[in-house]
Structure 1
Amino acid sequence: MGNLEENRLVPDIFNSLLVVSAEEGLSGISNELSRLLSLPVIVTDTFYNVLATSIDNDPLEIVVSTHFERQQNTAYFKCTLDILGESYESFGLPIRQREQNHGYLFFLNKHSEHHILEKYEALNQFSASLCMLNLKQLNDLKEEKHRFKDAFLYDILYGNFKNKEDIISYGAIWKWELDQPHMVIVFSIIEYNHYSADRQLIETLLYIIDKTLTQHGIEPITIKKQNEVIAIIPASEKTSFSSKSKLIDFLHYLIDETKETSLLNRVACGVGQIYDNPLELYRSYQESKVAYELGLLLKIEIPFFHNLGLERVLYKHDLQDLKEFYQHIVGDLVKYDQLNGSELMYTLESFAHHQFDLKQTSEAIFLHRNTLRYRIKKIEEILNIKLDDFHHRLNITAAFKIKQLHKI
């Protein structure tokens, strides 16, 4: 601690921090504080992304242990930092404003002596306040950029552009190659509650998506909207996401990443179709929302709109028309079961689910094949149809899809 003499005037120390904060921002604060304390200093955001450091290694990535030990009577917590494959005992100090956390100051504890930091807690708290001011300035600038970016993306997603050259030229501001094929993927939090901590979880989801895309060498094109994070994903040969199998692997990896956070198993997605023309990306957005909703209903983990056949037609059709169709096709069978306490609807639904195969159906519902034949004959009598007729089979299949999709 030779650099920080006790007889030195405290205002001089604070003044030096104010000067470097004004001139050099977070980088100046971390370097000056490190010089004063003779300890390595790291400034991070709430996700432990390094924003500034006195360690001579740029860029620097750290991994912070999740087992924190709070130090008594101070604001510090003890933790372990993994830096370039090596572990360091460290102390963290939250950068707070009105009880809201905006990042951390980390001090690498070279001497394993907490009292060194405790002695100069006022200085470190002052440094944290300066970091907070710098973070606020950065966030204000980021928010301004986001407002412009979000307005641009909203116009794309809702089809407000008339000229694709405008989209391409605006996208180039953020290094987005919107002249290449893209698709839209919607990620959403299941059973989202706007008035709970779920609002913060959307930020976590956005962060994970942006980080994962960046790790794969892709400039993120993302926007959050209520319970959704919408991503416009390049599908050119450069990204290899034109390959369905590689895209599925990527999405599995991304969703697995969310499971390691407080999001747990609450993230689902839907994938729209690929479009060469950016003017048509609004179609991909609408498709991705339908795929997401149908994925939840049909329990499909990674639902692609183009893989949904009859379901996507029935899902978007007029509900009253669908109910009338359902009643016309199987209504008499529903009434028969209600009056007689029978399970012919269950039998027919199982028969349709197993592609009208007697053997598969009898094994699936543990029913003797002759008994199944008798029930099918009874069903044909009640509905006045023949189940070996392709058109009747198609109508039956559609009826049960309507039941599944619209909870009839």
Structure 2
Amino acid sequence: MMYMTASRDKEFAAKLLDALAADAGLPGLLRILMQALASPVLLADPAGRILCLQAPGREVPWPEGLVPPEIVREGSRCPPGKTASGVAPARAGEGIRYKVTPVGREAEFGYLAVLSQGYEDPAREAWLTQTATACAVVMRSREARQRAQQAAQEELVEDLLSHRFQNLAELACRHPLAWDLDRPQAALVIEADRAGSGTVPETVNRQLGHLVRERVPGADYVVAPRGEQWVVLMAFPSMLSPAAFKEQVQDWVGELRRRAYPYLEGRPFAAGAGRLYPGAGDIYLSFQEAKTALEIGRFGRSAGGVTFFEDLGVLRVLHRLGMPRLREFAREVLGPLEAYDWEHGTDLLFTLRTYFQCQMDMAATSVRLGVHGNTLRYRLKKAEEVLAVDIGKIEVQANLYLALTLVAGA
């Protein structure tokens, strides 16, 4: 019996080595383990996202692509070369029994798990840990290639944003990346929410960058970090109308947001988008516009959205004054109303903002606020008295609109 077990262990190890030599990748390695154990096996990254799955005619009970936190927790506690077991919840029926082992040092690449109601043979635990070692070899090699590609991307992005080239032909010779510099391109700047500490936690920033680099579908792009922000250069097959460009960017950011939601510790992220230019030669302009859009969007618009430079209107010009001076202007215009609301427990500032959001339409504002028209007229009249202005004058409307835009969501 011991001879048969040793023979099967050698046969299993030989299959793993053959798969590595044939560059079968993670699916090939997991398929060998699945066939040997006749049970579903999966590989998840450190955050619990399923990277690879092999299941012999069974449906894995977590179709959303995330393993239960129990598997991640047990795997993180398990020393390399060892396994841990437990029962993970399923959406229907009894829990799913599993064995899990870390992949790489301190689970740097994630966790390998086998799911089975009857997997209790200690002799087969070695197959699980051996497969995890083989997966680590593949993932470390892939990581090295990715690092080289990322370094090349970051160097290209830095040259483009800093405009360190005489012409695009020179830039194309300098960078071997298969990136068509003649296509229409635009820049996005993405940053996680700074609420609370005023800075983005390193773990959140790293996870956001990892998600962006995962090749979110819907766009062809290169990405590079800049401090706590991520710069995305998007290329398009042809010039788009402003409306079509915005739609594609919003769809892409929406997909990124959907993927990022479980992994950013409850923090939203915001994006600023520059204008679309005919080629990469002007991408540094789009980058400056994207930074401006992000900064104004952070200050004056709701968190978690996309702010387009194209939509900023007069703020594109006023931004050159600097955000401190714009904040000072907003405080001067609306400060008395904020102080009155604080002292009397009223919502005159909110009423005024809603009035402008409804294009100064009394009926629409009344409906949105859920108040009678007479109540709305009283509140607006009171706001005029507190601010000592006449809302009917065009110059007053301009000042109020600008100030309200700057403080909205701040």
TM-score (norm 1): 0.68
- Alignment of 1:245 onto 2:241: no
Q: Which residue is equivalent to 1:205? A: 208
Larger of the two Rg values belongs to structure:
1
Match of 2:294 among 289, 292, 295: 292
In 2, Cα distance between equivalents of 1:78 and 1:406: 44
Q: Which amino acid aligns with 2:320?
A: K
Q: Which amino acid aligns with 1:129?
A: T
Q: Which amino acid aligns with 1:160?
A: R
In the TM superposition, what is the alpha-carbon distance from 1:107 to its structure 2 partner? 4.1
Q: Is the 8 A contact 1:359 1:369 kept in 2?
A: no
TM-score (norm 2): 0.67
- Give the percent of matched residue pairs that are identical in Structure 1 and Structure 2: 15
Q: Which residue is equivalent to 1:58? A: none
SS, match of residue 312 in structure 1: helix
Q: Is the 8 A contact 1:210 1:220 kept in 2?
A: no
In 2, Cα distance between equivalents of 1:195 and 1:8: 60
- After superposition, the Cα gap between the structure-2 partners of 1:204 and 1:192, relative to the gap in structure 1 and judged at 3 Å, is farther
5 Å matches for 1:329-344? none
Q: Which amino acid aligns with 2:111?
A: Y
5 Å matches for 1:9-408? 16=14, 19-20=17-18, 23-24=21-22, 27=25, 30=29, 34=33, 37=36, 39=38, 44=43, 46=45, 47-50=49-52, 66-67=67-68, 68=70, 74-76=83-85, 91-97=99-105, 99-107=106-114, 109=116, 112-116=117-121, 118-168=122-172, 173-191=176-194, 198-211=201-214, 213=216, 215-216=217-218, 218-237=219-238, 242-296=244-298, 297-299=300-302, 301-318=305-322, 322=326, 388-398=392-402, 404=407
Report how many aligned residue pairs link the two structures. 379
SS, match of residue 303 in structure 1: strand
In the TM superposition, what is the alpha-carbon distance from 1:226 to its structure 2 partner? 3.9
1:253-302 deviations in Å (ceiling 9; x for gaps): 33233224454452222221111121211222222222223223321623
In 2, Cα distance between equivalents of 1:193 and 1:326: 22
In the TM superposition, what is the alpha-carbon distance from 1:159 to its structure 2 partner? 2.6
In 2, Cα distance between equivalents of 1:237 and 1:24: 40
In the TM superposition, what is the alpha-carbon distance from 1:328 to its structure 2 partner? 8.4
In the TM superposition, what is the alpha-carbon distance from 1:35 to its structure 2 partner? 9.4
Q: Which moved more, 1:273-282 or 1:249-258?
A: 249-258
Q: Is the 8 A contact 1:65 1:80 kept in 2?
A: no
In the TM superposition, what is the alpha-carbon distance from 1:33 to its structure 2 partner? 5.4
1:196-241 deviations in Å (ceiling 9; x for gaps): 994343344334434463x43x444222344333222223459999
1:73-121 deviations in Å (ceiling 9; x for gaps): 942456699xxxxxx9865432131x23313334465xx42123x3232
Q: Which moved more, 1:175-184 or 1:131-140?
A: 131-140
List gaps (5 residues or longer) in structure 1.
56-61, 82-87
| CA RMSD of superposed structures (Å) | 5.3
Q: Which amino acid aligns with 1:281?
A: I
Q: Is the 8 A contact 1:75 1:94 kept in 2?
A: no
- After superposition, the Cα gap between the structure-2 partners of 1:54 and 1:258, relative to the gap in structure 1 and judged at 3 Å, is closer
Q: Which residue is equivalent to 2:60? A: none
In 2, Cα distance between equivalents of 1:14 and 1:375: 82
Q: Which amino acid aligns with 1:233?
A: M
